[in-house]
Structure 1
């Protein structure tokens, strides 16, 4: 199965007069006939075509597509043997290792849904997730901390451990997938829940979004088709698979195309750059933070990165200055895009040969988008800021787990309301301005933090920054900047204020400055503004 396409002229449900179709990438279909199958269909199809090809590898391990299919079958059978049935949930607390992929696809084959959390999750977050999602089993590393292990013990979930068993009641992962059992042929629909993924929660409490098998399958196909991937790609698997971005781009899309994903363990810039050269990696995904760290690594000059064909940045607005520096230093254009958990996650990408600086590109295959007025909900003309609304096959229709009110708020009139403020220009390119909840209201004026952050990134002493609104008894809110300085800099608060004053309108100027060692972030590099506001 290479592609399931209709005639190239079809636009699906997207109106044919959308302006971005004038800049559509050559050779990319505007519509795809996606197989109405559960997500594991992609693995089974590729395992037949590329049985002996390596699917995933690390410095110490590798697995072929056929073996991955067999192991995930065994995992599904194992779940069935401990009474996990269709509609149940299995929690994965694993880093980017082959056992994650086996557990993920095995869970889906069993008819259960995956609940995915970062493996370094803390007690409070784990307790909340267990209470909300009620998984019946959990797959963990044997090195899981005692505090988190105690939380699991209290919940009475069946624990499957990767590594040497640390608890007598746990099940060994190795034994779990090596026993021969009858395979449970469960009827799973494309519309059944596949993953419960907690949102990044940069502005508020994490919400458990529910994506169907079809949502995930569609985005895997969309992503690979947009960039023209084939079975020869080598994807560097840096993004955490426990997040929908890593799940789609570093696991599901490579499985769909028959490509190989290379795991590198914890993010280490020297190891990443060395691996690109040694393995001839062709695809690299990362956040602005990751690319900033790579640029500041000595290895950026030492290692040969010429094998890279696609370098994609997302998770947060990418400073224009960072993109320019990356492009100049590496000669490999940094492609910008946009997505969110509830869209599995990708909705916008830059056409590879038509990147427009400062934009998130255009809606991808079968994806519609518009900008609406924050008050009236009416669609706005190009150039005006408003809320970004999206729809497409990758966007959840299941909403949020056990939260009808939030689901109805987000899914209105056939559109998903992102809560992000954006602008569409006359050519159909979108620019992300800010989160609706992050807007600063100063004396009735609207201030977008991202605009101020772009200014701050222009200062040579600023390595990273984030601007938030601080409550003020007289003015409502005032802009406060949190700044991570470059090593050896002598930047002062006065320097920051004066630098901004010369570059923005008086009402937008920075009123407070705090220097910090690092910005709080999600696993994929999004700045947690809510934590900064709480400081």
Structure 2
């Protein structure tokens, strides 16, 4: 079964049914794809990327022309109430194979080529059950992340374990997002850093009553301390971070309103092991020392689909996954994420984390968003370069010189951009800006 939707309420029951019937959900090798009629553009791009056959497309387009109501009348003539009244015997469910692959999402690809990630029934259940055991009870929860993102898919299991109603927004639209929180009096909202940025700085937030919220969760990318402080001061509630990756079925850490630490991504979930490996020597490091994070977890993937070489590269001999993320664990067990290993900038022998520079830049009141990438200086080698999106209001325009002074950091220069490129899941697509900058550097070198 293949799902090419972004976020649609019909995906939830479809996925749950396929899971219990033993089907595998993926986005590449199915013979027929079902999609909401509003997603035609998404399907066209997906079908080209996946090289789907003309047969696949014809069958898809025929279905896409039918409305959901027509499909319901034609293929599902009974309403749910009528089916219950028939008192039919409960069907025999197939035995679920714990190590069978049930989900094939793709890794984000923000630093490399996307790969199919084989997640088993055991991994999905384990991750969902562990998170559900730590989440507060609630009547409703909100789905904002696109359902192809593993964190959103994993949360299907959390809602079932917790018996919560899942409210689905097709996309993030500021007014709708805030209205849902106000109308359903949500206690907890789990979002991504760009939405935290919106909640911390956008004037529209003041027009809605968000007083029922007691906690704000964030994942997909690390949050800077300045942004956490801005959101907390404005909303008066804790901002709780978690850490995970597609290869680990979503998340491996958790924060609670009574147990969290500023800047940390929480503590390890139950039955999860962590090693911090030195970037230079490869030896394991003690607490409060930065290195690459290695994780062993019951939520770990089986491997990369049809890619044994990549599978061997990411696993250690004893079953730990090399995350490619730099961080550390403190003496109390809190995990801190510094940045991606491949994105660290080597400036005069020092390792500079782009996320730290981004945090400082974003703390300026006239900055709406920013991203930091690697650039080249002929005298010093690698240097960080910031792309900045400014707020547009009546204040004096912010100049690069003023911002340089504010940041008080080694920044080569600033370039204003209209928007920072992000995936639908909220991850900054730093590689797009990096490619743009690499082309500029290559052009300069060709003239020397």
The TM-score, its normalising length taken from structure 1, stands at 0.72
Match of 2:257 among 329, 348, 352: 352
Gapped regions of structure 2 (runs ≥ 5): 437-448
Partner of 1:405: 309
Partner of 1:140: 35
Match of 2:113 among 205, 218, 231: 205
Q: Give 1:265 shift.
A: 2.7
Task: State whether residues 103 and 118 of structure 2, in contact with CA within 8 Å, keep that contact through their aligned partners in structure 1.
Answer: yes
Partner of 1:257: 162
Alignment of 1:265-344 (within 5 A): 265-344=170-249
Alignment of 1:92-171 (within 5 A): 92-116=3-27, 130=28, 134-143=29-38, 144-145=40-41, 147-148=44-45, 151=48, 154=53, 156-157=55-56, 165-166=64-65
Structure 2 counterpart SS, 1:356: coil
Task: State whether residues 145 and 191 of structure 2, in contact with CA within 8 Å, keep that contact through their aligned partners in structure 1.
Answer: yes
Match of 1:224 among 93, 117, 132: 132
- Residues 190-248 of structure 1: per-residue CA shift (max 9 Å, x gap): 2110111111111111121111111111111111111243xx43101112222111112
Higher strand share: 1
Q: Give 1:377 shift.
A: 2.5
Structure 1 counterpart SS, 2:2: strand
Q: Relative to structure 1, is the Cα distance of residues 222 and 443 closer, same or farther in structure 2, using a 3 angstrom cutoff? A: same
Structure 1 counterpart SS, 2:3: strand
Q: Does 1:234 align with 2:140?
A: yes
- Residues 25-61 of structure 1: per-residue CA shift (max 9 Å, x gap): xxxxxxxxxxxxxxxxxxxxxxxxxxxxxxxxxxxxx
Partner of 2:425: 524
Partner of 2:357: 452
Q: Give 1:331 shift.
A: 1.9
Partner of 2:439: none
Structure 2 counterpart SS, 1:102: helix
Q: Relative to structure 1, is the Cα distance of residues 138 and 459 closer, same or farther in structure 2, using a 3 angstrom cutoff? A: same
Partner of 2:103: 195
Structure 2 counterpart SS, 1:218: helix
Q: Relative to structure 1, is the Cα distance of residues 438 and 379 closer, same or farther in structure 2, using a 3 angstrom cutoff? A: same
Match of 1:491 among 398, 417, 436: 398
Task: State whether residues 233 and 282 of structure 1, in contact with CA within 8 Å, keep that contact through their aligned partners in structure 2.
Answer: no
Partner of 1:434: 339
Partner of 1:371: 276
Q: Relative to structure 1, is the Cα distance of residues 258 and 279 closer, same or farther in structure 2, using a 3 angstrom cutoff? A: same
Number of residue pairs the alignment of both structures matches: 418
Gapped regions of structure 1 (runs ≥ 5): 1-89, 117-129
Q: Give 1:303 shift.
A: 2.2
- 1:449 and 1:320 map into 2 onto residues whose CA distance is 14
Partner of 1:84: none
- Residues 377-403 of structure 1: per-residue CA shift (max 9 Å, x gap): 22102221100111111121x111111
- Residues 96-119 of structure 1: per-residue CA shift (max 9 Å, x gap): 333101221232234221115xxx
- 1:446 and 1:282 map into 2 onto residues whose CA distance is 40
Please tell me the root mean square deviation across aligned C-alpha atoms, in Å.
2.8
- 1:358 and 1:325 map into 2 onto residues whose CA distance is 13
Q: Give 1:315 shift.
A: 1.2
Q: Give 1:301 shift.
A: 2.2
Match of 1:470 among 375, 385, 388: 375
Task: State whether residues 273 and 303 of structure 1, in contact with CA within 8 Å, keep that contact through their aligned partners in structure 2.
Answer: yes
Q: Relative to structure 1, is the Cα distance of residues 150 and 445 closer, same or farther in structure 2, using a 3 angstrom cutoff? A: closer
Structure 1 counterpart SS, 2:425: coil
